C-alpha cells in the first residue's frame, strides 16, 4: 500500500512539473493570483468556434485558417514602471532550452523578444516577451503556427508588439 501511495505521489509530482513547462507558468506561478496582473487565457474550444465561420474574402479565410490551427493563447500583463526591465530580463532567463530566439526588437519605446518552440520543424509555440509603454507582458500562442498567418491575425486583431513580425517578412 505504501508503494502505491509513493508511486502515485511521484506521478503527481512529475505531471505537475510537466504542466508548468511553458514560459508563463515558469515565470508567473507566484504572481498569478496577484491583482496587479491582468491574465487572459483562451482555450482551444474558443478557437474551434471560429472554424464554423465561412468567408469569401481570401484574407479572412487565411486568418480563419490560422485560428483553426491554434490550441491556446495565454497573456499576462501588468504596469511595469521602473521594475519593467528587471521583469523583462527575468522572463527572458526563464525560457528554457526548448525555446529558440526568433527575433529581438530593442528601440526607444519597446524591448521585445520573440521565441519559438519547434517540434519536427513545425512551430508549436510562439512566445512574445515585452516591456514598453509602461507595460510588461508575456504572450504565448500554441498550436501549429505559420508566422505569416499569425502576422495577418495580429494585424486584424491589432495586437501590440506583434506588428514587429512584419520585419521578418522584409528579410
pLDDT at position 12 is 31
Q: What's the grid cell of residue 106?
A: 530593442
CATH topology classification for 22-169: Protein Transport Mog1p; Chain A (3.40.1000)
What's the predicted TM-score (pTM) here?
0.74
pLDDT at position 168 is 56
pLDDT at position 48 is 81
pLDDT at position 13 is 32
Q: 128 and 103 in contact (C-beta within 8 Å)?
A: no
Within the chain, which residues score under 70 in pLDDT? 1-23, 26-32, 152, 154-171
pLDDT at position 68 is 83
Amino acid at each position: 500500500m505504501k508503494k502505491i501511495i509513493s508511486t502515485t505521489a511521484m506521478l503527481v509530482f512529475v505531471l505537475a512539473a510537466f504542466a508548468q513547462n511553458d514560459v508563463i507558468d515558469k515565470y508567473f506561478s507566484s504572481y498569478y493570483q496577484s491583482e496587479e496582473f491582468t491574465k487572459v487565457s483562451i482555450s482551444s474550444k474558443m478557437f474551434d468556434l471560429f472554424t464554423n465561420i465561412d468567408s469569401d474574402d481570401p484574407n479572412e479565410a487565411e486568418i480563419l485558417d490560422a485560428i483553426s490551427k491554434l490550441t491556446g493563447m495565454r497573456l499576462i500583463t501588468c504596469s511595469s514602471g521602473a521594475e519593467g526591465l528587471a521583469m523583462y530580463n527575468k522572463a527572458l532567463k526563464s525560457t528554457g532550452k526548448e525555446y529558440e530566439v526568433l527575433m529581438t526588437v530593442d528601440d526607444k519605446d519597446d524591448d521585445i523578444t520573440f521565441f519559438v518552440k519547434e517540434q519536427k520543424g513545425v512551430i508549436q509555440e510562439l512566445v512574445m516577451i515585452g516591456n514598453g509603454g509602461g507595460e510588461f507582458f508575456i504572450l504565448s500562442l500554441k498550436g501549429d503556427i505559420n508566422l505569416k498567418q499569425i502576422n495577418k491575425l495580429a494585424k486584424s486583431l491589432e495586437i501590440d508588439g506583434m506588428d514587429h513580425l512584419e520585419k521578418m517578412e522584409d528579410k
